[in-house]
Structure 1
């Protein structure tokens, strides 16, 4: 559903109770997109905030599903403008919301948050009602020491941040088509991976969850054998990393 005709921001349910909010960016060569994900439960979670300048667009889209004030957690993979640029604006709007992040993120960036974060250690679970979220540390995968990901157990959804970043401004909300080749084209063109030596082991940790939905921050979400896709990505990275 389009929620802003001018920006073409839209919100779509990509899994029962999980919504993808997407704003296309046409002003760069080839186009791009910024996605955030809303998880509806007793304690709703927003994963990624989008850039600070997109706060109103994202908040308006959320308002089509639930009042922004009801957000309980605002999570993000690592400290970057498109990940958490609007974090404090959401904290101001939602009086009971907390940042949700890993231990390294809280240690090195916590002073930038207007409210103390709910910190999750590697492998720690958080119940939000009928759903359970699990945090996985993933330093430098693809970049940033504090990087990590959330996995929603009930739907087997992996909120996988910058993994499988796809170029282009407009995409279907969810696809069963291959996203590896388009994401590899982006990776090879921009080389935004840190090439960490433990990248293979980190991908093994994620694929062991056997995700059925990969909720990407740029491009379409992918529905299918997420473990196979993560394994294929590991194979593509092998020349640059030392597999476990």
Structure 2
């Protein structure tokens, strides 16, 4: 079952909870002149997501499918979306386009940098590179400048079938999730490098009002301090120096 919640004007969270993992997989649809989906989802989830999207827009009218980094839960279902939406284009970082997507996808990707602006109608998007934050050389986060929403992928990952939107501090559940993953098969889930704090502080400088979180509750409220505090949590759990 996919649950649908509007977490900001025209921004809908499509969430599928997987009990075996005690984890939500969240996908975000922006309803605008040129609709945008952030996270294409796993291939197996495509039928459920398509039904959920159909409650909000005609899925064949989807124009942009974006994600942070090349990973199955982020873009495994990409080609399924491109097949049903003939005008849709993949959207990712320029590195992602070059090293992964243009070979994988059935249509070329729009590879963006922070200097590029994608306008979908009422809303404006930029892609900010964040290598290895949360994962991969190609990683980036998308920022919508009009409503100040940050699509932050696995940042602030936490477990549970939790509420769709919160104004409570996300640091404690994120810390708990990182500690839970340490020592198991997911150890090393997120690297800490000399660039980590600087990248997160640069995202904090954007002063987002909404965090669209892939695994767990999204957040509403001042987000800059949360992003700064996250650097310390990553360092505490994953710095091996």
TM-score range, shorter chain: over 0.9
1:9 alignment partner in structure 2:
2
**1:71-117 deviation line (CA, Å, top 9, x unaligned):** 10000000001000100000001000000001110111120011111
Residue matched to 1:121: 113
Deviates more, 1:173-182 or 1:215-224: 173-182
1:96 to 87, 91, 94: 87
**TM-score, normalised via structure 1 length:** 0.91
Partner of 1:174: 165
Counterpart in 2 of 1:137? 129
Alignment correspondent of 1:231: 228
CA–CA distance in structure 1, aligned partners of residues 234 and 38 of structure 2: 26
**1:123 deviation in Å?**
4.0
**Aligned residues of 2:191 and 2:238 also touching (Cα < 8 A):** no
For 1:26, the equivalent position in structure 2 comes to 19
Structure 2 gaps, min length 5:
182-187
Residue of structure 1 aligned with 2:204, choices 175, 198, 207: 207
Q: TM-score, normalised by structure 2?
A: 0.92
Gaps of 5+ in 1: 1-7
1:132 shift after superposition: 0.3
Question: What residue number does 2:157 align with?
Answer: 165
- Deviation of 1:124 (Å): 2.3
Cα distance per residue 1:142-192 (max 9 Å; x no partner): 211100010011111000000000111x22111111221111111233241
Q: Distance in 1 between the 2:228 and 2:201 partners?
A: 8
Ranges of 4+ aligned residues in structure 1 off by more than 3 Å: 237-242
In the alignment, the residues of structure 1 paired with residue 238 and residue 199 of structure 2 have an alpha-carbon distance, to the nearest angstrom, of 11
Q: Number of aligned pairs?
A: 232
Q: Measure how far apart 1:239 and its partner are.
A: 5.2
CA RMSD of aligned residues (A): 1.5
> In the TM superposition, what is the alpha-carbon distance from 1:127 to its structure 2 partner?
1.1
SS of 2:20 mapped into structure 1: coil
Q: Which moved more, 1:41-50 or 1:177-186?
A: 177-186
